[in-house]
Each structure stands twice: as C-alpha cells, then as structure tokens.
Amino acid sequence: MVLSVSERTFTQEVLQSPIPVLVNFEAPWCSLCRLIHPLLLQFNAQCGEQIKLVAVNADNNFKLANTYRLRTLPTLLLVENGIIRQRLEGFSSKEDLRLALEEIKLTYNNRSRTYNAVTTADMECRSA
C-alpha cells in the first residue's frame, strides 16, 4: 500500500523521513499515473524498508505542486534528508521508468549494505 501524503503531512512524512522517500505526484484523471501504479507498487515491495513510497494528489495539494514546480503528471521526486536527489518526469515509456526505478533501487541497496558494514565494523572496533 502507498501512503497518501498531503500538504499537512508532507514535512513529517517526506522532508523529515529518516529514510529516502520516492514521492509520486499524481491525479485521479491522469491515465499515465494509473498505468505506472503497478510498477511503483512492485518497486515499493522490492525496496522494503530502504525507500518509502508516498503519493501526493497534485489537484488537492496545489501549494506542493507549485513548490515543486510540477510541469507534468506523473512526476516522481526522490527526496533524501529533505533534499531532492532525483526528479523523474516525462518518461517516454513504462520501460524507461522501470529502468530508472531499478537504478534507484540498486543505489540505495548498495548504500544500505555499506552503511550496515560500516556500522558493524564500528561496533566491533568499540567492543575490542
């Protein structure tokens, strides 16, 4: 399931999140948004706890749509520590989006492994 975020909850759920967040700006009338939804659900299932997926209804959250200068829907923003790390918009095909999501997943899987290795090594050093 994808968490629905609004202007009221955006700061807490996205900008202050301890893990990276993939924000999907969408609208109910957007056919491409509906088309990519299964890909995003698959991405969410594969990433588990490493990346959070949230949805923002651009029609109901006009301030957010303006703040992030949406030009087209869907627009995906990868936000880490309150900073936009990647912006995905205007994909030419479902395959383009799939490849971009795959790249994000690999990047954050590798970071997570590196972080866990450093944390484990650090703890081993402290106990020695």
Rounded Cα distance between 101 and 40, Å, is 8
| Catalytic residue ranges | 30, 33
Rounded Cα distance between 7 and 62, Å, is 9
Rounded Cα distance between 109 and 46, Å, is 10
